[in-house]
C-alpha cells in the first residue's frame, strides 16, 4: 500500500515537472525577465557594444518581445549560444526563445520539437575568399580548405554542394564566428562559408574589408527566424505576433517617431487594432492592449531595426533584397491583425 | 527424574530489526538500498516521462541515417553519405589516435623531466621545476588553444610556398612542409602492392586491412624473434665458457635484411607532398588541430608524470644508489638498472590514472576543431538529430569502455613488474 502511495507521489512529481515546461509566458512574467538565446557575437545581428550592451537585429526582436510581455525592453537576459549548444539550451528551458540566425528546416521544426514562429531574415549560404586568391566562382574551389561553423545547416549544405559538383574540399570545423575569423584571416583556411548576411557582417569587422570578396553562388535557402519550444502555443503566439507587429508596423508606416501620435487613434482600423485603441487583440494573447505599441516603440518597426543594425547605411551594408515588404517586391508579408 | 525446561524460545519480533544489534546493520543497509533504488527509478521514470511529454522517446534509429556531414581527419574511408554510426566510428578512431600518441609522448617526456628534476646540475633541475609548475598549474584547455593559436599565427600559409619569390620553403630536403594548416610529411607507398583485405562488406563498420603492412609487420616480428634467439644463445655460451661471441652484426642483419628485401620487392617508396592548387597534396597531412591537441595533452600530462617519476625515484632508499656505486656502476647505469626498475612499482599505479586523465581530456578536442568522438557523435550528430540523451549516454559508455580497457592493460603490466615475493 505504502509503495503505491510513494509511486503515486513520484508520478505526480514527474507530471508536474512535465507540465512546468508548458507556461512559458507565466514563467517569464513571474521572473520579470526574458531569457533570450543569441549568438556568441555576430556584429549587426547580436553582439555586445563597447558598453557591454547587446545590440543587433536579433537582439532587437528579443527586446521587442520583452517590451510586449514585461513592458520593458531592457528586461532581457541575453544567453550567448553556439551553433552546437543553442538547441539544447532551448529544449532544456534555459532560454525562453532563440533569436539566433537559425535556419527553419523540416527536421528542426518536426523532429527536434521546436516551433519556428516566422522568418525575420531570408538568407542563403555564401562563400567569402580573399581577393588575392583570384577565385570568381565557388566551383573553382576544388581542394580548398573551408572554415565552417559546426552544428549548422551550412555544414550539411557544404557537403552536399561539393559532392554534387564532384569537387573535394577540406573542412575545418570551428565553434564560433570569432574563431572562424581568426583562422580565415591567418590563412589557415582559404574560404569561410556561412549565411551571406553573416559573411557580410564578419567582413565589415575586418581591417581591410575590400581585400575579401563574396562569391556569387548562394547555395541554399536559409530562412532565419526566432523559435520556441514545441507545444507551448500561447508563448509561440506571443513571439509570432510580436514579429508580425514589427513587420506590419513598417507596412502601415508606424515608426518610433510617429507612434505616440498614432496611438491617439487614426482612421485606419488596422493600425488602431495593432496599437490597441480598438479591439482586444492584446487580451486574446494574454497581454494588455498596448503590447504591440511597446514592442514597436523599443526599437522601431522592422524597417527601422533593419536600417539601424544591418542596413545599407551601416558598415555591414546589406540591401533589403528578399527582406523588403511584399508591397516592394520582397517576401515580408504579415497576416492581418484582425 | 529431573525435568528439563527448555530455555525460553526467543521469538522473532519485528522490533528486533531495529533494536537488536544482530540485525540492525542489515536493516539499515536494506533501507539505504531501497532508498537508492527508488531515487534511481524516479530519475529514470521522470526522464522517460518528460521525453514522452516532449514527444521524443528514446530511440537509436538515427544511427542508420546518413550523417550528411564531412570529417577532415579520417583513418577509414568515409563520405557524407555514410551513416551516423560510421561517423561515430571515425570519431572514436580519432580519439584513440590522439590518446595513444599522447600517452606515449607524455610518458617519454615525463620520465626524462622527472629524472632531470633530480639532477645535481642546478640550472637543469630549476628549469625542469619551472616546466612542471608552469604546465601543471594552467588548465589544459588554455594550453590547447594557445598552441593552436601559435601554429595558426606564426607558421606560413601554403600560399607562401608558391611562386618565384616564395617566402617559405619546405624543410628536410624538400620533403616536409610545415604550414599553418598542419605538417605534411612523406607517406610510405608500395608500387607492387599486395592489396587489401576488405572486412564487413558495405556495412557501417567496414574496414580494410593492408596486406603490405601485415607482411612487413610479420617479417619484422620474425626478425626480432630470431634476433632474441641469437642473444639467448650468446648468453648461454657466455655462461658456459665465459666468452661472449660477437653477435651484434648477426642480430642487426636478421632484422634489417629480410625486411629491407621485402620492402624492395613491394616497391617501397615515399610519396612527397607537393603544392597543388590551394593546398599541398600527397604525403600524410598531420592537421594542426591534431598537433595542437597532441602536444598540449602530452606536455600537460608529462608535468604530472614527471612528479610521479620523481616521487618514485625518491621512494628508493639512498642506500641502493650507494651500494650500486660501491659496486662500480656509473650513474646512468645505476638509474637504469637499479633505481628505475624498483621505482616502477611506485610509479605505475598513479601513472594509470594519468593515462585515463589524458584520454578523457582529449574530449576538449572541439576547442580546436579536432573531430574526435565528442565532436562527431556528441557534437554534430547530436546537433543534427536532436538526440541529446541517447548520444550523451553512448558517449559516456564509450569513454567508460576506453578507460576500463586502459586500466585493465596497465593493471596487468603492474602485476608483471611488482615485487616478486619468493
User: Beta strands of A111-261 (E only): which ranges?
Assistant: 114-116, 121-123, 125-130, 144-149, 169-174, 191-195, 212-214, 222-229
Q: pLDDT averaged over chain B?
A: 89
Query: Above 80 in pLDDT, residue B191?
Result: yes
Residues in chain B within 8 Å Cβ distance of A185: none
| Cβ–Cβ gap A163/B80 under 8 Å | yes
Q: CB distance from B46 to chain A under 8 Å?
A: yes
Instruction: Give dist(CA A224, CA A205) in Å, integer.
Output: 22
Contact indicator for A226, A57 with CB cutoff of 8 Å: no
- Please, which residues have CB within 8 angstroms of residue A6's CB and are 6 or more apart in sequence? B38
Residues in chain B within 8 Å Cβ distance of A84: 379-380, 382-383
For residues A253-279, give the mean pLDDT.
Answer: 90
pLDDT at B12: 79
Helix axes A57-70, A291-299, angle to 10 degrees: 150
Residues in chain B within 8 Å Cβ distance of A187: 157-159, 180
Helix axes A57-70, A302-309, angle to 10 degrees: 140
* Inter-chain Cβ pairs, chain A and chain B, closer than 8 A: 131
Instruction: Give dist(CA B367, CA B111) in Å, integer.
Output: 28
Query: Above 80 in pLDDT, residue B419?
Result: no
Higher-confidence position of A249 and A101: A249
Nearest residue of A to residue B278 by CA position?
Answer: A144
pLDDT at A20: 45
ipTM over 0.85: no
Distance from CA of B152 to the nearest CA of A (A): 6
| Cβ–Cβ gap B375/A150 under 8 Å | yes
Residues 237-276 of B with CB under 8 A from A: 276
Our CA angle for A73, A78, A84, nearest 5°, is 145
| Cβ–Cβ gap B157/A141 under 8 Å | no
pLDDT at A5: 45
Distance from CA of A135 to the nearest CA of B (A): 11
| Cβ–Cβ gap A84/B383 under 8 Å | yes
Nearest residue of B to residue A151 by CA position?
Answer: B380
pLDDT tens per residue, range A282-329: 999 999 999 999 999 999 999 999 999 999 899 888 889 899 999 999
Instruction: Give dist(CA B276, CA B279) in Å, integer.
Output: 6
- Percent of chain B at pLDDT exceeding 90: 50
pLDDT tens per residue, range A106-143: 988 988 889 999 999 999 999 999 998 889 999 999 98
Task: Give just the sign of the alpha carbon dihedral A187, A189, A195, A196.
Answer: positive
Instruction: Give dist(CA A225, CA A231) in Å, integer.
Output: 18
Contacts by residues B67-70 (CB-CB < 8 Å, ≥ 24 positions apart): B67/B380, B67/B381, B67/B384, B68/A156, B68/A159, B68/A160, B68/B384, B69/A155, B69/A156, B69/A159, B69/B380, B69/B384, B70/A158, B70/A159, B70/A162, B70/A169, B70/A171
pLDDT at A3: 45
Nearest residue of A to residue B156 by CA position?
Answer: A187
| Cβ–Cβ gap B379/A150 under 8 Å | yes
Residue in B31, B34, B181, B379 to test binding to A, most A beta-carbons within 10 Å: B181
Terminal Cα-to-Cα distance of chain A (whole angstroms)? 56
- Residues present in chain B in total: 422
Query: Above 80 in pLDDT, residue A161?
Result: yes
- Please, which residues have CB within 8 angstroms of residue A255's CB and are 6 or more apart in sequence? A249, A300, A301, A304
Query: Above 70 in pLDDT, residue A7?
Result: no
Q: What is the DSSP string of B319-363?
A: HHHHHHHHTT--HHHIIIIIIHHHHHHHHHHHHHHHHHHHHHHGG
| Cβ–Cβ gap A160/B80 under 8 Å | yes
| Cβ–Cβ gap B380/A150 under 8 Å | yes
For residues A178-200, give the mean pLDDT.
Answer: 91
Residue B246 CB neighbours (<10 A): 8
Query: Above 80 in pLDDT, residue A22?
Result: no
Terminal Cα-to-Cα distance of chain B (whole angstroms)? 65
- Percent of chain A at pLDDT exceeding 90: 64
pLDDT tens per residue, range B15-48: 888 888 888 888 999 999 999 999 999 999 998 8
pLDDT at B422: 66
Residues in chain B within 8 Å Cβ distance of A108: 386
pLDDT at B1: 55
Q: CB distance from B23 to chain A under 8 Å?
A: no
Residues in chain A within 8 Å Cβ distance of B275: none
pLDDT tens per residue, range B76-103: 889 989 999 999 999 999 999 999 999 9
Residues in chain A within 8 Å Cβ distance of B71: 171
pLDDT tens per residue, range B278-322: 888 888 899 999 999 999 999 999 999 999 999 999 999 889 989
Amino acid at each position: 500500500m505504502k509503495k503505491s502511495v510513494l509511486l503515486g507521489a513520484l508520478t505526480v512529481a514527474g507530471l508536474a515537472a512535465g507540465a512546468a515546461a508548458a507556461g512559458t509566458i507565466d514563467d517569464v512574467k513571474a521572473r520579470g525577465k526574458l531569457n533570450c538565446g543569441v549568438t556568441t557575437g555576430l556584429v549587426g545581428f547580436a553582439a555586445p557594444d563597447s558598453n557591454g550592451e547587446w545590440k543587433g537585429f536579433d537582439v532587437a526582436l528579443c527586446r521587442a518581445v520583452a517590451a510586449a510581455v514585461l513592458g520593458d525592453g531592457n528586461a532581457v537576459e541575453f544567453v550567448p549560444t553556439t551553433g552546437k549548444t543553442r538547441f539544447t539550451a532551448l529544449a532544456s528551458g534555459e532560454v525562453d526563445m532563440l533569436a539566433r540566425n537559425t535556419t527553419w528546416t523540416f527536421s528542426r521544426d518536426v523532429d527536434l520539437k521546436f516551433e519556428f514562429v516566422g522568418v525575420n531574415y531570408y538568407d542563403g549560404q555564401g562563400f567569402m575568399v580573399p581577393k588575392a586568391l583570384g577565385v570568381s566562382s565557388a566551383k573553382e574551389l576544388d581542394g580548398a580548405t573551408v572554415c565552417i561553423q559546426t552544428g549548422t545547416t551550412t555544414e550539411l549544405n557544404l557537403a552536399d554542394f561539393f559532392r554534387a559538383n564532384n569537387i573535394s574540399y577540406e573542412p575545418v570545423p570551428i565553434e564560433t564566428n570569432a574563431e572562424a575569423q581568426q583562422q580565415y584571416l591567418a590563412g589557415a583556411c582559404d574560404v569561410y562559408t556561412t549565411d551571406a548576411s553573416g559573411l557580410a557582417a564578419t567582413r565589415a569587422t575586418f581591417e581591410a574589408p575590400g581585400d575579401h570578396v563574396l562569391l556569387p553562388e548562394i547555395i541554399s535557402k536559409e530562412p532565419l527566424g526566432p523559435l520556441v519550444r514545441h507545444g507551448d502555443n500561447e508563448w509561440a503566439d506571443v513571439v509570432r505576433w510580436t514579429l508580425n507587429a514589427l513587420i506590419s508596423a513598417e507596412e502601415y508606416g508606424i515608426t518610433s517617431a510617429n507612434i505616440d501620435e498614432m496611438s491617439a487613434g487614426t482612421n485606419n482600423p488596422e493600425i488602431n487594432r495593432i496599437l490597441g485603441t480598438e479591439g482586444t487583440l492584446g487580451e486574446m494573447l494574454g497581454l494588455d492592449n498596448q503590447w504591440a505599441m511597446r514592442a514597436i516603440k523599443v526599437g522601431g518597426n522592422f524597417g527601422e531595426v533593419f536600417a539601424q543594425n544591418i542596413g545599407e547605411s551601416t558598415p555591414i551594408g546589406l540591401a533589403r533584397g528578399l527582406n523588403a515588404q511584399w508591397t516592394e517586391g520582397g517576401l515580408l508579408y504579415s497576416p492581418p491583425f484582425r | 527424574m529431573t525435568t528439563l525446561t527448555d530455555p525460553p524460545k526467543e521469538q522473532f519480533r519485528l522490533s528486533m530489526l531495529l533494536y537488536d544489534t544482530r540485525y540492525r546493520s542489515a536493516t539499515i543497509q536494506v533501507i539505504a538500498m531501497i532508498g537508492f533504488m527508488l531515487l534511481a527509478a524516479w530519475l529514470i521514470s521522470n526522464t522517460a516521462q518528460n521525453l514522452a511529454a516532449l514527444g521524443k522517446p528514446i530511440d537509436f534509429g538515427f544511427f542508420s541515417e546518413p550523417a550528411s556531414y564531412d570529417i577532415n581527419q579520417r583513418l577509414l574511408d568515409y563520405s557524407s553519405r555514410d551513416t551516423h554510426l560510421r561517423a561515430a566510428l571515425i570519431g572514436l578512431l580519432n580519439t584513440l589516435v590522439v590518446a595513444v600518441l599522447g600517452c606515449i609522448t607524455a610518458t617519454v617526456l615525463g620520465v626524462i623531466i622527472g629524472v632531470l628534476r633530480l639532477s645535481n646540475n642546478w640550472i637543469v633541475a630549476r628549469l625542469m621545476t619551472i616546466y612542471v609548475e608552469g604546465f601543471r598549474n594552467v588548465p589544459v584547455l588554455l594550453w590547447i588553444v594557445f598552441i593552436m593559436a601559435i601554429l595558426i599565427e606564426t607558421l606560413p600559409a601554403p600560399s607562401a610556398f608558391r611562386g618565384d619569390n616564395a617566402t617559405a620553403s619546405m624543410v628536410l630536403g624538400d620533403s616536409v612542409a610545415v604550414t599553418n594548416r598542419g605538417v605534411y610529411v612523406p607517406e610510405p607507398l608500395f608500387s607492387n602492392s599486395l592489396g587489401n583485405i576488405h572486412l564487413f562488406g558495405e556495412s557501417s563498420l567496414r574496414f580494410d586491412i593492408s596486406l603490405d603492412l601485415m607482411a612487413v609487420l610479420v617479417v619484422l616480428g620474425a626478425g626480432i624473434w630470431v634476433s632474441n634467439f641469437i642473444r639467448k644463445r650468446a648468453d648461454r655460451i657466455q655462461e658456459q665458457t665465459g666468452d661472449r661471441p660477437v653477435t651484434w652484426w648477426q642480430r642487426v642483419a636478421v632484422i634489417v635484411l629480410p625486411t629491407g628485401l621485402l620492402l624492395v620487392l613491394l616497391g617501397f617508396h615515399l610519396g612527397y607532398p607537393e603544392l597543388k592548387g590551394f593546398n599541398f597534396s600527397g604525403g600524410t597531412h598531420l592537421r594542426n588541430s591534431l598537433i595542437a591537441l597532441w602536444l598540449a595533452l602530452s606536455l600537460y600530462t608529462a608535468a604530472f608524470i614527471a612528479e610521479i617519476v620523481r616521487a618514485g625515484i625518491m621512494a628508493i632508499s639512498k642506500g641502493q644508489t650507494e651500494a650500486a656505486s660501491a659496486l662500480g656502476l656509473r650513474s646512468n647505469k645505476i638509474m637504469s638498472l637499479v633505481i628505475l626498475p624498483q621505482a616502477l612499482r611506485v610509479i605505475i599505479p598513479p601513472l594509470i590514472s594519468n593515462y585515463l586523465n589524458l584520454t578523457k581530456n582529449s574530449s576538449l578536442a572541439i576547442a580546436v576543431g579536432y573531430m574526435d568522438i565528442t565532436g562527431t557523435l556528441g557534437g554534430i550528430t547530436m546537433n543534427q538529430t536532436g538526440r541529446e540523451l541517447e548520444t550523451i549516454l553512448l558517449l559516456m559508455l564509450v569513454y567508460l569502455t576506453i578507460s576500463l580497457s586502459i586500466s585493465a592493460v596497465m593493471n596487468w603490466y603492474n602485476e608483471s613488474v611488482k615485487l616478486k615475493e619468493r
